[in-house]
Each structure stands twice: as C-alpha cells, then as structure tokens.
C-alpha cells in the first residue's frame, strides 16, 4: 500500500470506527467502497470513500449510493482521490447530479522529524472524555464546519462513544485558552499511519497559533503510539500552516456532494 492509498484507507477507517461506535450509523466496508449512512441530513454523516472496481462497475456503484440516499432522504459526500480510484468516477458522479465542491491537498508528514510541541501562553490541550468537553468540542466544530442543527447532538454522542475510552485509537482533543474552549482536533491511529482531522479554531481566536499547537500535539501523541507518518487533508486557509509544521502535498483529494433533490 502506497502513502496515497494509506491516506485513503485512514479516512475509510475513520468512518468504520465511527460506525462501530453508534447503532445509528449503517456502515458498509466491501471491495467496492466504504460508506456510512445515517438518518441525519448531514453530508459528514453520509459519505463514501475508497471506491474500487473496474470502470465498467462504477456507474452501478454510484447508482446504488444514490438509491440509498433517496431512500433515507439524506445528502452524501463522496471522497475522490484520482490516483487511487477508478478514472471515470468523477464523470459518473457529475452525470448523476453530484456537484464538485472543490479539492484540497492531501498532505503527509514524517513523524520522526516532528518539532517539539509548544503552546501559546495560557493555552492547554486535553482529551475529550466527558459530556461537557464533548459538547464544547462540537460547538467549535459546528462553527468551523457549518454542521446542521440536526447533526450536532449526533456528533456529540459520536465523539463520546468513539474516543473517550483510554485504549481507543481515536482521540478527540480540545484546546482551552484561559479556561475557554477555542480549538479542536481529532486523531486516528491506524497501524503506522495517523490521520489528523477536524482541526478547528473559533473565529475570535484564529491566527494565534492554536491550530498549529493542536496539530503538533496530535502528531506527538501519534508518534508516542508508534506511528511514523501523519496524513491530513487541508483547507486553503490551513495549507501554509501545515507546510510550516512539515507536511508536504502528495495528492489532491476531491469531494462531490449529492442531495435528494438533485436531478
């Protein structure tokens, strides 16, 4: 498995672990794709990743996903990494009413070279382990990722169920400035590769180094757990920050959005 496939597999494992932590998420992990489906109308809780198969099979895979979305009445988000997926996947998605929502750099860092973590004055990072910190984590992520109101309580329960146990490989972190929660991140350790997700900072505390501190903290936790490589997908705003930390771009990761009223 090359690093791009390992990045995609980490995203897939994120969905598998979230699905395993909730009876309200239906998860399929097969040779054709990994997908998660819920009753909540949020693309973050209804997604498809790691599409495989012969190009002749892709139309059927997409049609099946759309049928599931229509049956539930929920939108979905399809992750596409051109180097790892069938070459005709983007065209088949667009032909069936899926809208491209842009692409982002898939970035990789060598954890053997991670710089020591340093925190801004008055800033601490703790792991989410109870309902209060889970609620605070969701409030920050809701602002940064525009979660729908229906999705927030679902995410809160997922955060508690998936990452609060001491031996869980998924860790959710919250950054606190002078007693006030201001930043988040999530770490998924999967064998030798650590995926970093949900790096978010409240608007009033941005550009003060908190995102850098959260990311470096996750990298050090991953390294201590035995991972040698960290992967993430960056927004345009975060790309320079991640490059300064030591991440380099290895691929582009596209996303396609479908909603039930698509033609």
82 shares its domain with 120: no
233 three-class SS: strand
225 shares its domain with 156: yes
115 shares its domain with 99: no
156, 191 contact by CB (below 8 A):
no
pLDDT of residue 262: 64
Tokens standing for residue 117: 């973590």
132 shares its domain with 68: no
pLDDT of residue 220: 95
What CATH number does the domain containing 165 carry?
A: 3.40.630.30
Residue 187 domain flag:
yes
138 shares its domain with 203: yes
pLDDT of residue 146: 86
63 shares its domain with 143: no
155 shares its domain with 210: yes
68 shares its domain with 183: no
The H or E element containing residue 139 is: helix 131-145
pLDDT of residue 164: 74
pLDDT of residue 219: 96
Residue 263 domain flag:
no
Residue range(s) defining the domain that contains residue 98: 3-104+253-258
User: Could you identify the residue written with the tokens 């949900």?
Assistant: 198
Residues 6+ apart with CB under 8 A from 115: 216, 245, 246
Residue 73 domain flag:
yes
33 shares its domain with 97: yes
pLDDT of residue 191: 84
76 shares its domain with 31: yes
Residue 31 domain flag:
yes
Residue 213 domain flag:
yes
pLDDT of residue 167: 75
pLDDT of residue 244: 94
DSSP at 89:
H
98 shares its domain with 133: no
Q: For the chain, which residues score pLDDT lower than 50? A: none
68 shares its domain with 142: no
Residues 6+ apart with CB under 8 A from 188: 10, 13, 14, 17, 169, 170, 171, 194, 195, 197
Helix ranges (DSSP H) in 21-110: 55-72, 89-95
Output the pTM of the full model.
0.94
State the first-to-last Cα distance of the chain, in angstroms, to the nearest integer: 37
pLDDT of residue 234: 94
Q: How many domains does the chain have?
A: 2
């Amino acid at each position: 498995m090359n690093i791009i496939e390992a990045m995609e597999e980490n995203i897939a494992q994120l969905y598998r672990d979230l699905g395993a932590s909730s009876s309200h998420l239906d998860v399929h992990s097969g040779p054709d794709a990994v997908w998660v489906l819920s009753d909540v109308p949020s693309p973050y809780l209804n997604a498809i990743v790691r599409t495989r198969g012969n190009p002749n099979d892709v139309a059927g895979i997409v049609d099946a996903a759309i049928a599931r979305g229509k049956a539930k009445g929920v939108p979905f988000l399809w992750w596409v990494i051109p180097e790892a997926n069938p070459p005709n996947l983007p065209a088949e998605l667009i032909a069936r009413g899926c809208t491209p929502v842009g692409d982002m750099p898939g970035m990789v860092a060598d954890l053997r070279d991670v710089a020591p973590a340093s925190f801004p004055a008055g800033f601490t990072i703790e792991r989410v382990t109870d309902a209060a910190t889970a609620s605070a984590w969701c409030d920050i992520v809701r602002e940064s990722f525009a979660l729908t109101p229906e999705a927030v309580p679902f995410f809160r329960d997922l955060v508690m169920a998936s990452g609060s146990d001491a031996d869980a490989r998924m860790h959710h972190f919250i950054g606190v400035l002078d007693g006030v929660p201001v930043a988040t991140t999530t770490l998924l350790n999967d064998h030798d590769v650590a995926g970093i997700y949900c790096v978010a900072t409240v608007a009033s505390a941005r550009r003060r180094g908190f995102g850098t501190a959260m990311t470096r903290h996750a990298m050090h936790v991953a390294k201590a757990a035995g991972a040698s490589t960290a992967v993430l997908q960056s927004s345009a705003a975060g790309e320079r920050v991640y490059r300064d930390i030591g991440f380099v771009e290895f691929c582009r990761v596209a996303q396609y959005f479908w909603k039930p009223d698509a033609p």
